[in-house]
């Protein structure tokens, strides 16, 4: 089955700096890669996603890049703000899974210091 | 759009009690719903996948007789933790998706078994 590795496990940055979180996946047939943000005690919220036919996607301060050859994808947050502090999870979905089952990474605790 | 409601948000009960958790998609039809368990500072662990009108598919190591899942309609799935014990205490989160759409999560249920 699919295995997703996420790094780093914790990330601390100063407000205004950029933050990058990286994930690798094992199943070359995976075709959908969402990123979720989870604040303490709350639901994971989809912040951006990318499909395998696209190499990069951007939404304001957030961008995701995908390298299918290397089987890794990354989340980039620019001009970080304290409210960006949360746990971020990457995930991958295998093309063959018609039910859309996701395999999640271990999560990254991002702390943005004012 | 894509709102998922989960109830209750917090349950405290005695050992041996059965607890039912509801997951509803409020503004879309959820062809598939997922149930996750999340331990503190850890990732989302998929327990089972349920499709409306059919039996749930459980992940390896998850006891189907312990965690009963019913997906009676396109907007409602329930998870019943039967004869709960302290080791079942955890944060349980559901998610729902329509065909071809991303997963959207409920607010989660914090279950504490005394």
Instruction: Walk across the sheet containing B4-7 and list its strands.
Output: B4-7, B19-25, B76-81, B67-73
Q: What share of chain B is helix, strand, coil (3-state, %, to 5)?
A: 5, 55, 45
- Please compute the mean of the pLDDT values over residues A36-54 and round it to a whole number: 92
- What pLDDT does B99 receive? 85
How far apart CA A54 and CA B11 sit, in angstroms, is 43
How far is the alpha carbon of A100 from chain B, nearest alpha carbon, in Å? 8
Average pLDDT over chain A reads: 94
Partner-chain contact B107 A109, CB within 8 Å = no
Q: Tell me the pLDDT band of B46, cut-offs 50, 70 and 90.
A: very high
- What pLDDT does B40 receive? 85
Q: Tell me the pLDDT band of A100, cut-offs 50, 70 and 90.
A: confident
Contacts of B44 in chain A (CB under 8 A): 44, 89, 104
Cα-atom radius of gyration of chain B, to the nearest Å?
A: 13
- What pLDDT does A1 receive? 79
Contacts of B49 in chain A (CB under 8 A): 99, 101
- What pLDDT does B2 receive? 84
Contacts of A45 in chain B (CB under 8 A): 105
Tell me the per-residue pLDDT of B17-45, one tens digit each, with 9 for 90 and over: 999 999 999 999 998 999 999 988 889 99
A56, two tokens: 């990069």
- Evaluate if residue A54 carries a pLDDT over 90: no
- Evaluate if residue A35 carries a pLDDT over 90: yes
B46, two tokens: 């998929």
Exposure class string for A56-80: b at 16+ Cβ within 10 A, else e = eeeeeebbbbbeeeebbbbbbbeeb
- Please compute the mean of the pLDDT values over residues B76-101 and round it to a whole number: 94
How far apart CA A33 and CA A10 sit, in angstroms, is 21
How far is the alpha carbon of A72 from chain B, nearest alpha carbon, in Å? 19
CB-CB neighbours of A55 under 10 Å? 12
Nearest to A43 among B34, B43, B106 (CB): B106
Partner-chain contact A34 B49, CB within 8 Å = no
Contacts of A109 in chain B (CB under 8 A): 41
- What pLDDT does B54 receive? 83
Q: Tell me the pLDDT band of A38, cut-offs 50, 70 and 90.
A: very high
How far apart CA A22 and CA A20 sit, in angstroms, is 7
- What pLDDT does B41 receive? 82
Nearest to B51 among A43, A99, A104 (CB): A99
Contacts of A105 in chain B (CB under 8 A): 43
Within an 8 Å CB–CB cutoff, is residue A100 touching chain B?
yes
């Amino acid at each position: 089955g699919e295995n997703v590795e996420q790094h780093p496990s914790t990330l601390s940055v100063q407000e205004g700096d950029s933050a990058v979180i990286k994930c690798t996946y094992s199943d070359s047939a995976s075709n959908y890669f969402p990123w979720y943000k989870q604040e303490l005690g709350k639901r994971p919220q989809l912040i951006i996603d990318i499909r395998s036919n696209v190499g990069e996607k951007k939404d304001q301060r957030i961008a995701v890049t995908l390298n299918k050859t290397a089987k890794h994808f990354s989340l980039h947050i620019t001009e970080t703000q304290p409210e960006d502090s949360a746990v971020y999870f990457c995930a991958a979905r295998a093309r063959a899974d018609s039910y859309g089952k996701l395999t999640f990474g271990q999560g990254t605790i991002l702390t943005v210091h004012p | 759009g894509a709102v998922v409601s989960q109830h209750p948000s917090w349950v405290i009960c005695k050992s041996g009690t059965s607890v039912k958790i509801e997951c509803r998609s409020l503004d879309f039809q959820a062809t598939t719903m997922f149930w996750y368990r999340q331990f503190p500072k850890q990732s989302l662990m998929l327990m089972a996948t349920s499709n409306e009108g059919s039996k749930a598919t459980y992940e390896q190591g998850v006891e189907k007789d312990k965690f009963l899942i019913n997906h009676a309609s396109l907007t409602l799935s329930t998870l019943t933790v039967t004869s709960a014990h302290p080791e079942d205490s955890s944060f349980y989160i559901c998610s729902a998706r329509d065909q071809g759409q991303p997963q959207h999560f409920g607010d989660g249920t914090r279950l504490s078994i005394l």
